[in-house]
Structure 1
């Protein structure tokens, strides 16, 4: 029971933090993956070079290292375990470390650990796992920084860059098709294995990808 005179700020359970995005996963959260509380199909990998929302800074930033993050829901970054209808967390008792520390009126505890001891795919998949080689190949060919540079050149009318971008997106799409088909893994594991699809990252640059037969074409909207 709390003293009625206690003036300590407390979380009001408004859910704004949860709507701004699910937590990144840290080494302390590894038991939640091991016991199945956080299945890999519920995790998305954010790769170096991607532009993401930084909770402590409350602004967009470009990542310089890999982050594993709980997926969003309903086409937004709202944490998939958060229920807007009930304003409740589906895994509250087993919530990740960032969720335990995050408090909008005092972000210092979260800021102090935010970039420390983050898990990566190599931490989660055992050494020698056959998919690690595919992940490395995909990261090399579909690096977000390379994609963004190529996309900007293609937008400016560089035909060679446009063809390179097309090859990157097709490779990304094919990898996501083949791995579930050949391994039997569910398709929703792709976001953990390979990060967000390039066509999704391109959409943040106002570039749409349209499938045309066995190929694709790009639609370059105004602005970036």
Structure 2
């Protein structure tokens, strides 16, 4: 968070930035993942078309490209490695590059590198891994921008759009159920493989997803 007081010239480690959200990950952060400092289960993929908070611009806007970001904690975007109780970072000495350059009273260094050399899922997955094809299929069938268009049309009473949206959400839910079941990997990996669940993205549009009577229903609010 940028502040008007400019007397400070270095980070006070107050935790404000950590509370506002964990960093996006860049190729310079790859060693932190390779040596286990950052676990894949602690990374969430934000996909093109998702509306996210742009720190340098300090506004919400849709993503142009994939972003890997440290997960939040306690149902918020507060960085998972931050301890609110003691205002301490669990990896301060080996923190990601965005954390190194970010200073709340001068965000220009972050602005310069913010959208450069970002890591992608493909950078972290072995070439030819079978789940890569599932990720590509999911990206095609569950694109956030397409979901948003269908949701807006369904809200306005378009039945066909509502049925297409239902199929999209069911596919997303089933894939997230089957991958852990078939691979033995923890379900926490789904946020890395497939990004945030569509029902979470829909909730951001004030659309609640219900499972009732063996099918999916939507509640349109607002």
Residue 210 (structure 1) shift: 0.8
Gaps of 5+ in 2: 1-6
1:95 is matched with 95
2:120 is matched with 120
Residue 129 (structure 1) shift: 0.8
| Residue 199 (structure 1) aligned with residue 191 (structure 2) | no
2:132 is matched with 132
Deviations 1:43-66 (A, max 9, x none): 000000000001111111110000
2:168 is matched with 168
Residue 8 (structure 1) shift: 5.7
| Residue 111 (structure 1) aligned with residue 111 (structure 2) | yes
Deviations 1:116-162 (A, max 9, x none): 10000111101111100000000000000000000000000000000
Alignment of 1:79-90 (within 5 A): 79-90=79-90
Q: Distance in 2 between matches of 1:221 and 1:82?
A: 33
2:3 is matched with none
Q: Distance in 2 between matches of 1:54 and 1:8?
A: 24
2:157 is matched with 157
1:30 is matched with 30
Q: Distance in 2 between matches of 1:150 and 1:132?
A: 26
TM-score, reference length from structure 2: 0.95
Residue 213 (structure 1) shift: 3.7
Residue 215 (structure 1) shift: 1.4
Residue 203 (structure 1) shift: 0.3
